Amino acid sequence: MIPTCMSDIKWNGYTLEQGATWITGGSEGNSVWDLAQKYNLSGFFTDWEDYTARDSNGNDVTEEFDLVYDRLLPARDFEYDLSVEKLENNKTDITKKVALRLGGWNANSSYDYAAQYYDYDYEYAEDIDILSLKYGLVYTYDDFNDSDYHVLDSRGYRYLVQATADEFLDGSNLMLSKIVSKVDTLPNRVRVI
């Protein structure tokens, strides 16, 4: 699974990721995970069950949030099943918000909105009102395990790309602002003309 955007800033001696942050499916056979192991990219496996929910006054409301989140789960399962059905059968797309409503979910309270945000807006970095049901499948990385490795490396997540490129780019084989007319895939190499 290739991250879509790798960007970071340096602040107060720390590297803060602005794009990719997790390696989804941290297991052998995942090429990104394999690179993280090769280059010793530091981080930790995220335990999504270990959290504290707080209200606007800083009070611990984890128990209340958990009850609301449990109400969201059946609608989320419905939304997922509907997304697979629509994609496999080339049916008309709808938003994830509409699918959740069809599954019985309607956010009314601040806890409802927090649970919805946690599972959708935060996960996709986009407003649930416009998220495509068909083309926004989540939890679909079946080729690897379901662990999420949170990268916390001072070199930044992008180090994986830089270090890999450094292995074969020596300055003589890097050309910028050139027109590519053909790409041939050959055994163990690629030829770009």
Report the alpha-carbon angle 92-94-100, nearest 5.
Answer: 135
Query: Which pLDDT does position 2 carry in this prediction?
Result: 43
The first and second tokens of residue 36, run together, are: 């993280």
Q: How far is CA 137 from CA 42, 49, 72, 132, 140, in A?
A: 28, 21, 17, 9, 7
Predicted TM-score of the model (pTM) = 0.64
Is 42 domain-assigned? yes
Is 176 domain-assigned? yes
Is 136 domain-assigned? no
Mean pLDDT, the chain, as a whole number? 86
Tell me the C-alpha distance between 144 and 33, whole Å: 10
**What are phi and psi for residue 8, nearest 5 degrees?**
-145, 165
Query: Which pLDDT does position 176 carry in this prediction?
Result: 81
Query: Which pLDDT does position 144 carry in this prediction?
Result: 65
Is 52 domain-assigned? no
Domain residues for the domain of 151 are 8-46+147-192
Residue appearing with tokens 């059968």: 89
Both 40 and 14 in one domain: the answer is yes
Q: What is the pLDDT of residues 25-78, one digit of tens each?
A: 777 778 889 999 999 999 999 887 888 999 999 999 999 999 999 999 999 999
Report, as an integer, the average pLDDT of 91-117: 94
Look at the chain and report how many structural domains it folds into: 2
Report, as an integer, the average pLDDT of 143-164: 84
How many beta carbons lie within 10 A of that of residue 162, not counting itself? 13
Is 181 domain-assigned? yes
Report, as an integer, the average pLDDT of 147-166: 88
Is 82 domain-assigned? yes
Query: Which pLDDT does position 1 carry in this prediction?
Result: 42
Is 141 domain-assigned? no
User: Which residue did the predictor score with more confidence, 151 or 147?
Assistant: 151
Tell me the one-letter amino acid at 120: Y
Both 79 and 112 in one domain: the answer is yes
| Whether pLDDT at 86 is above 70 | yes
Tell me the C-alpha distance between 36 and 44, whole Å: 12
| Whether pLDDT at 126 is above 90 | no
